[in-house]
Amino acid sequence: SQKIEQNSEALNIQEGKTATLTCNYTNYSPAYLQWYRQDPGRGPVFLLLIRENEKEKRKERLKVTFDTTLKQSLFHITASQPADSATYLCAFSLNGATNKLIFGTGTLLAVQP
Amino acid sequence: KAGVTQTPRYLIKTRGQQVTLSCSPISGHRSVSWYQQTPGQGLQFLFEYFSETQRNKGNFPGRFSGRQFSNSRSEMNVSTLELGDSALYLCASSFRTGGSNTEAFFGQGTRLTVV
Q: Closest CB to B45: pick one of A34, A42, A100.
A: A100
B 57-76: CB under 8 A from A: 58
Give the integer Cα–Cα distance in Å for A77 and A11: 12
Q: What's the pLDDT score for residue A51?
A: 87
pLDDT, average across residues B23-47: 94
- CB contact under 8 Å between B103 and A34, yes or no, is yes
Q: What is the pLDDT of residue A94?
A: 76
pLDDT value, residue A97: 72
Per-residue pLDDT at A27 = 81
Mean pLDDT of chain B: 93
Please report, rounded to a whole number, the percentage of residues in chain B having pLDDT higher than 90.
Answer: 83
pLDDT reported for residue B40: 85
Q: Which of B73, B79, B91, B61 is nearest to B19 (CA)?
A: B79
pLDDT band per the 50, 70, 90 thresholds, residue B100: low
Chain A residue with CA closest to B58: the answer is: A100
CA–CA distance, B14 with A99 (Å, rounded to integer) = 33
Which residues of chain A register pLDDT less than 70? 1-2, 96
Taking the Cβ of residue A42 and every Cβ of chain B, the question of whether any pair is shorter than 8 Å is answered with yes
Nearest in space to B65 (alpha carbons), one of B38, B47, B83, B50: B47
> In the structure, what pLDDT confidence band is assigned to residue B101 with cuts at 50, 70 and 90?
low
Q: What is the distance between the alpha carbons of residues B103 and B92, in angstroms, rounded to a whole number? A: 9
Q: Averaged over B11-25, what is the pLDDT?
A: 98
Picking from B30, B43, B53 by the largest number of A CB atoms within 10 A of its own CB, the best residue to mutate is B43
pLDDT number for residue B36: 98
Average pLDDT over residues B60-71: 97
* Distance from the A6 Cα atom to the nearest Cα atom in chain B, whole angstroms: 12
- Cα–Cα distance, A68 to A30 (Å, whole number): 9
